[in-house]
Copies of this chain bind each other. A is one copy, B any other.
Amino acid sequence: MSVDRSPDTGSSRSGSRTAFGALDDLDRRLLRELERDGRISNKDLAARVGVAPSTCHTRVAALRASGVLRGFHAVVDPEAVGRGLQAIIAVRLQAGARRQLGAFARALAARPEVRDVYLLGGSDDVLVHVAVHDSRALRAFVVEHLSTRHEVAHTQTSLVFEHLHVPTTAG
């Protein structure tokens, strides 16, 4: 009895698994529902996709174990926790500092103000999405962690008026 989801290429199966390790229709529907509502009960989820609760449970456990389902997170109103001001900071690194890009990005991601770090190919190297209390905190963040660091060649800060996040990828 293997813990991992074994890539059952040859077994008889009602679904339509297309490739090695790929997902079938049922998996995709489960993921879509869980992206929409991460706290849906196993019973309701099973009813939505039209399988037995036990089947649903097995599938979700397999998706979790295989790493397709990375986790479940609550979404909190930033304003309510004192982070009503959001900004995107485009960062260009010194040419020689690009080798440390990964460490630089991870250090940023560890900061409580940081919500997203995008490592880019293009004119800018990094995009940092932050949520802070006010403009004073924003300035403090940029100065302390970006513009005064020797790896950083240039920064450009843009205020975020609105952020629309779409939690569904398995469309």
Residue of B nearest to A21 (CB): B80
Instruction: With both chains docked as a complex, state the minimum distance between the C-beta of A74 and any C-beta of chain B, in angstroms.
Output: 4
Contact check, A67 vs B73: say whether CB atoms are below 8 A apart: no
Contact check, B38 vs A73: say whether CB atoms are below 8 A apart: yes
A133 to B109, alpha carbons, bound, how many Å?
26
Contact check, B71 vs A75: say whether CB atoms are below 8 A apart: yes
| Contact segment of A8-16, A119-127, A141-149 | A119-127
A15-32 interface bits toward B, Cβ cutoff 8 Å, 1 = contact, 0 = none: 000000001000010010
A154 at the interface (CB under 8 A from B): no
| With A72-B72, A121-B159, A159-B121 as contacts: A165 and B115 at CB distance below 8 Å | yes
State how many residues of chain A have any CB contact under 8 Å with chain B: 62
Contact check, A164 vs B116: say whether CB atoms are below 8 A apart: yes
Contact check, A164 vs B106: say whether CB atoms are below 8 A apart: yes
A32-90 contacts to B (CB < 8 Å): 34-39, 66-78, 80-81, 83, 88
Instruction: With both chains docked as a complex, state the minimum distance between the C-beta of A41 and any C-beta of chain B, in angstroms.
Output: 11
